[in-house]
Structure 1
């Protein structure tokens, strides 16, 4: 197999909180008429599995490739029925419903799912004064939480955090959260769609829920809630491959890592990798080169770089996000320690 960067189909979600920010702020043409809430850039979630758009593998699903070529696609030692990382753009033109995703143990026990969903939000754009909800306040118990959720009195029990473009929040499974309005986020997470919502409305269309269904949903939120998770936004940790290229580690843990790379005009950035990389452009059009393949990647567009390619180059001006499932010691801790970051500082990235 002569591997090459893969362009995948991107399932689009038109939930009630969406808008036009993905097109307006990123410069990416919309695939559907009307508001868009989410584009799933690389997905192996049941019912929303990406398919290769071009080249010799056109028409093959990401699930097919993960099963048939686990090492070549995902990297040495990688096996499993699904590609491990899910990435999205989320346009929270309106606020997301207050919700949570189960952690691995809870997903196994309560939802019969193979894994839960820890995630991280990288803020692409947000206005001054934007906030997010993440985790419960100290001293909140299950009774107080349920009462507040019933009354939609979120600020009495949840932590409200300032949101700033360029910062990232690592959100462990079991953390109650929401963000928006007017916030554009790039999200990386475990491959899963487990979710329990505390809202009295459906995120798909905003319709009010039957009272009994809402009460049942609240029971599940309380059952899956982890009260000790209180994450904070972080600016990331910088490494400079050269004077005109900056590499910033935004978030990291055993399930995924996320980096943001910027390159000055005319600068050539090169990244070598052992794991599959989700390569997403959050700037203007850029020329990308990998494994003998060269093409232009448009604004707001994504490539999946199979592990077999081993390296990618791109020419500035460029602003890109790189997501992957890491070997934490080799791919995260080692370069950060070499750049002078202490273990305590590295730990602020998430679960490192």
Structure 2
């Protein structure tokens, strides 16, 4: 019998070197960045074999999410426990100091291009900070074909075929699998399917200083995974669900995840019975109340509410902006 007592769980961020990264995650997270290297990603909730997130609070401190999932799948996942063998979402903060490679992720149906144990990758971004040269490329320009894109690749003119816009703080963008995309000079929160399958189409002819070589491209695979109907992608228009006691906006809803943004200074409810929820604080701070105990959540921190915690009050300390993530209803 599993006697594990779960509670609102916080996790340590996992920093990742990236050629295009910077140092701006210092402004968002308390954990110091590794010295010198450009840090492009902080994995804030990861159930990956190579980088599992570790609990930082309470009696389960030091346990990984992978261990908890194996020990208490029903308590962690509730009604979703039979469907998933690991936590199905991967959450990150990205510091895109330079523009990323032009890339595409396969859809779940393209089994030929998905390694064993992986799946496709739909993702979404919420813009947290922008620089002077901030730009998001999302989708192709209308009328782009495989032939015209190949010709642009041959001439190093891929950017001419990409739809783009200048983002502002608060913008949200849905990047469905098959969408050609990249972004630069922004800090964003990212939620995605728990997958690490990326095919690079173009990398701006740059050299990785650590290796002295260009990074590998996967042009044939990328071309095979592109959905040429995904064109001219812009920011999502959030849907306001309520104004009291908190502004509750539905930002993204698809078959992989749902994302709400909650803004306010008065207590409100988070979580839901028999299903896990994830909270990400992107501004301010507050406390989750569970079993007569308070669990503090500050800017840049993530908290997993296991299915057994159900709905809980959240008490802001001043104004707070939370992202709340859920799996689609079954």
Query: Helix, strand or coil: the match of 1:105?
Result: coil
Residues in 1 aligned to 2:283 and 2:7: alpha-carbon distance in whole angstroms:
22
Deviation track 1:106-128 (CA, whole Å, cap 9, x = no partner) reads 2x222334411100011112247
Say whether 1:160 aligns with 2:164. yes
Q: Cα gap change, 1:304/1:150 in structure 2, threshold over 3 Å: closer, same or farther?
A: farther
Aligned residue in 1 for 2:260: 259
* Count of residue correspondences: 318
The 10-residue stretch of structure 1 (47-56 or 166-175) with the greater mean CA deviation from structure 2? 47-56
Give the 5 Å matches for 1:251-330: 251-264=252-265, 267-274=266-273, 275-316=275-316, 317-327=319-329
Q: SS in structure 2 opposite 1:52? A: coil
Aligned to 2:213: 208
Cα distance change, pair 11–130 in 1 and its aligned pair in 2 (3 A): same
For 1:164 and 1:287, how far apart are their aligned partners in 2?
A: 28
Cα shift readout 1:268-322 (whole Å, capped 9, x = no counterpart): 1112414212211111232222343313222211111111100232223211111
> In structure 2, how many angstroms separate the alpha carbons of the residues matched to 1:204 and 1:233?
34
Q: Distance in 2 between matches of 1:304 and 1:93?
A: 29
| TM-aligned CA deviation for residue 57 of structure 1 | 2.2
- Partners of 2:270 and 2:314 within 8 A in 1: no
**Distance of 2:51 and 2:222 partners within structure 1:** 24
Task: Give the Cα–Cα distance (whole angstroms) in 2 for the partners of residues 31 and 9 of structure 1.
Answer: 12
Preserved contact between residue 121 and residue 188 of structure 1 (Cα < 8 Å): yes
1:201 positional shift: 4.7
Give matches, 1:57-68, under 5 Å.
57-68=60-71
Deviates more, 1:189-198 or 1:149-158: 149-158
Q: Which moved more, 1:196-205 or 1:254-263?
A: 196-205
RMSD between superposed Cα atoms in Å: 2.3
Give matches, 1:158-237, under 5 Å.
158-181=162-185, 183-198=186-201, 199=203, 200-201=205-206, 207-209=212-214, 213-214=216-217, 217-230=218-231, 231-237=233-239
Q: For residues 7 and 211 of structure 2, what CA distance do their matches in structure 1 show?
A: 41
Distance 1:85 1:287, change over 3 A: same
Structure number with the higher strand fraction is 2
Q: Contact between 1:263 and 1:315, CA under 8 Å: does it hold in 2?
A: no
Structure 1, 12-21 or 55-64: larger mean CA deviation: 55-64
Q: Secondary structure at the match of 2:148?
A: helix
Partner in structure 2 of residue 12 of structure 1: 15
> Are the structure 2 counterparts of residues 59 and 96 from structure 1 closer, same or farther at C-alpha, using a change threshold of 3 Å?
same
TM-score by length of 2: 0.88
* SS, match of residue 145 in structure 1: helix
Q: In the alignment, what sits opposite 1:104?
A: 108
| Distance apart, 1:10 and its partner CA | 2.1
Partners of 1:151 and 1:81 lie apart in 2 by: 44
Partner of residue 22 from structure 1, selected from 20, 25, 38: 25
Supply the distance in 2 between the matched residues of 1:204 and 1:42 (Cα, whole angstroms). Answer: 29
SS in 2 for 1:227: coil
What's 1:345 paired with? none
In structure 2, do the counterparts of structure 1 residues 100 and 297 end up closer, same or farther at CA, with 3 Å as the change threshold?
A: same
Which has more helix, going by share of residues?
Answer: 1
- Aligned-residue offset at 1:134: 0.9
Matched, 1:90 2:94: yes
- Partner of 2:22: helix, strand, or coil? coil
Kept in 1: contact 2:13–2:31 (CA 8 A): no
1:350 aligns to what?
A: none
Uncovered stretches (5+) of structure 2, i.e. residues with no partner: none
Structure 1 residues without counterparts, runs of 5 or longer = 329-352
CA deviation after TM superposition for structure 1 residue 196, in Å? 0.8
2:56 aligned partner: 53
Residues in 2 aligned to 1:82 and 1:204: alpha-carbon distance in whole angstroms:
35
- The CA distance in 2 between the partners of 1:253 and 1:278, in whole Å, is 16
